[in-house]
Amino acid sequence: MCLAVPHTIKEILGENRALASAGAVRTEIRTDLLDDVVPGDTVLVHAGFAIEKLSPEDSEELKSLWDELRALAGEPYAH
């Protein structure tokens, strides 16, 4: 439906334009859809547009989901 790839902002090029990298790929992206993008931010890019910022994974939600699932499977907590 919509391929989107995490990019790291390298440089702000002007209003709504930034240089970003996705792995080894360097590309210019549009930041129209986000506020306050700064170098170092990780954003999700689709069709040339950053559609959301990604925060460093907060594992709490995922951890709780994992715990729920293991509980359901009758497995002991590993942590």
Partner 1 sequence: MKDTTVTLGHGSGGRQSAELVSQLLDSFRKRNIGPELEDAALLPGGYAMTLDGFTVSPRRFPGGDIGHLCVCGCANDLAVRGASPDFLGISLVLEEGLSSEEAASYMESAASTCARLGMTLAAGDTKVVPSGAVDGMIITGCAFGRIRTARTLSMTGIHEGDTLLVTTSIGRHGAAIASARFDLPVEGLLSDCAPLWPALSPLLHLEGLRCMRDCTRGGLGTVLCEWAEATGLHFSLDEDAIPVGFQVQSLCDVLGFDPLYMACEGCAALAVAPSDADEALRILRQSPLCADAAVIGRVSSAEPKGMVSMKTSIGGERLVDMPWGEILPRIC
Partner 2 sequence: MPINAPSVAELLGKISRTPLSVMEVCGTHTVSIFRSGIRSVLPPTLRLVSGPGCPVCVTDQGEIEAALSLLDRGAVVAAYGDMFKVPCEGGSLASKRSRGLDARVVTGAMDVLSLAEEYSSREVVFLGVGFETTAPATAALVAEAARRGIRNLSVLSFHKRTPPAVELLAADPDLRLSGFLLPGHVCVILGHDPFRFLPEKYGLPGVIAGFEPDQILLGLADIVRQHEQGAPALRSVYGKAVKKEGNPKALGLLEEVFEHRDTAWRGIGTIPASGLALKRPYESFDAEKRFGISLRPGTPPAGCRCGEVLTGKIIPPECPLFRSACTPLSPVGPCMVSGEGTCGAYFRYFKGDRS
Binding site for partner 1 (CB under 8 A): 1-3, 5, 21-27, 46-47
* Beta carbon nearer to partner 1, 25 or 73: 25
What does 5 interact with, of partner 1, partner 2, none (CB < 5 to 8 A by kind)? partner 1
What does 13 interact with, of partner 1, partner 2, none (CB < 5 to 8 A by kind)? none
What does 11 interact with, of partner 2, partner 1, none (CB < 5 to 8 A by kind)? none
Residue 56: CB minimum distance to partner 2, A: 9
Q: Does 11 bind partner 2 (CB under 8 A)?
A: no
From the centroid of its chain, how far is CA 64? 20
Three-state DSSP class for 21? strand
d(Cα 38, Cα 11) in Å, to the nearest integer? 8
- The 3-class SS string of 23-72 reads CCEEEEEECCCCCCCCCCCEEEEECCEEEEEECCCCHHHHHHHHHHHHHH
